[in-house]
Amino acid sequence: MALPEGAQETMTAAPVLRRRTVADREDLLGRILLTPALLYVLLLVGVPFVLAILLSFSRATSGSLAFSWAGLQNFAAVISDPQFRRALQNTVLFTVVSQVLVVVLATSAALVVDALLVGKRVVRFLILLPWAAPVSLAAMAWTWIFDSTFSVVNWTLKVAGLLKGWFYWFGDPTLAMIAIITVHVWRMFPFATVIVLAGRTAIPQDVSEQAMIDGAGFWRKLFQVELPLLLPIVAVAVLFGMVFTSTDLSIVWLLTRGGPYNSTHVLASLAFQRGILGADLGQGAAIALFLLPVLVIVAVAMLRLARRVEVGV
C-alpha cells in the first residue's frame, strides 16, 4: 500500500485545509450556473424583441430574407388604416371592460369562498377550472355554446321569455364583442380570485375582528377595512390580467376570426392576419408593437408596487 508522497497528507488535511477550487468560489459558481438560462432568454427573447422593433421599420416579407429600411412607412400605413384603429379601440375596450368585471367578480368570489364553512376546497377547485383548461379548447366550447343555430344561450333566453327575436352571436359586431368579453371574463376571473384568496390569508385576522368589536357593520367593514387592505393584491391580479387580456390572440381568433366584417379584430389578431397570413412582416410587427406601451406601464407599475409593499404601505 504505497501511496504517492503527499497523498496521505492531503487526505488527512482535507476537512480543513483542502485547496479552494472553482467548486468553492461562490461568485464564479453563481455565474456559471446562471449564465445558460440567461443566455437562452437573451438570445431567444431579447434578440427577437429587438428584431420585432427592427422589422417594424422594414419592408420585410416572410417570402424573402431581404431586409430593407422603410422608415416610418409601416406606422404611417397602419395609423391611417381604419381596420387598425378599430383593432386598437377593441383591444382597449376588451381589456378595460373585462378587467373591471374581473375585479368585481373576483373580489366578491374570494370573499364568498373564504366565508364558506363547508365545501370551500371543492368550490375553489371548480372555480379554478376555466383558468387551468387550455385556452384554445375552452374557446371552442364557447364557439359551440354561441353557435348561430344551436346556441343554448338563445334557447334558455327564449324559454325564460327574455328574447323575442334571435341572437346571431358572431354575425353582429356588438353581440360578437359581448361574446368575446364574456369568454375573457370567464377565463380571467378564476385566476384573479385565487390571487385575492392568497392575498387575504396574508391579512391579519385581528384587524377584521377589531373592526367588528369596534362596531363596524358588514358594509363599513368591507369598504373601509377589508377592501383597502386587499388593494395591492387586487392590483397585482389586474396587472397580470391586463397583460393576458390585451395580448391574447386565441380567443378572438377562434371565436370570430376578427369578423363579422373585421369588426372584432384586436391588435394581436390583426398582426397575425397581416404579418403571418398576409406575409407582410413589417406591418404585422408595427401593429404588434402598439402593445408595447401596455407592457411598459404594467412592468413599471409592478416594480412600483413591489417597492411600496416592501416599505410596508
Q: What is the footprint of another protein within residues 145-204 (CB under 8 A)?
A: 145, 149-152, 154-155, 158-159, 166, 186, 189-190, 194-195, 198-199
Among 180, 264, 272, 273, binds another protein (CB under 8 A): 272
37 to 66, contacts with another protein by CB under 8 A?
A: 37-38, 40-41, 44-45, 47-49, 51-52, 55, 60, 62, 65
Rounded Cα distance between 150 and 232, Å, is 43
Cβ neighbours around 227 below 10 Å, total = 13
Do 260 and 280 touch, CB atoms closer than 8 A? no
Binding flag, residue 253, another protein (CB under 8 A):
yes
Among 70, 87, 138, 181, binds another protein (CB under 8 A): 138
For another protein, which is the closer residue by CB, 86 or 142? 142
Rounded Cα distance between 108 and 28, Å, is 50
- Rounded to 5°, the CA angle 89-46-306 comes to 70
Closest to 179 measured CA to CA, from 146, 149, 148: 146
Task: Please state the closest distance from residue 28 (CB atom) to another protein, in A.
Answer: 9
User: Segment contacting another protein (CB under 8 A): 14-22, 92-100, 169-177, 257-265?
Assistant: 14-22
For another protein, which is the closer residue by CB, 168 or 173? 168
Rounded Cα distance between 300 and 308, Å, is 12
For another protein, which is the closer residue by CB, 176 or 186? 186
93 to 132, contacts with another protein by CB under 8 A?
A: 105, 108-109, 112-113, 115-116, 119, 123, 125-130, 132
Cβ neighbours around 146 below 10 Å, total = 25
Rounded Cα distance between 189 and 204, Å, is 24
220 to 239, contacts with another protein by CB under 8 A?
A: 232-233, 236, 239
Q: 257 is written with which cell numbers?
A: 376570426
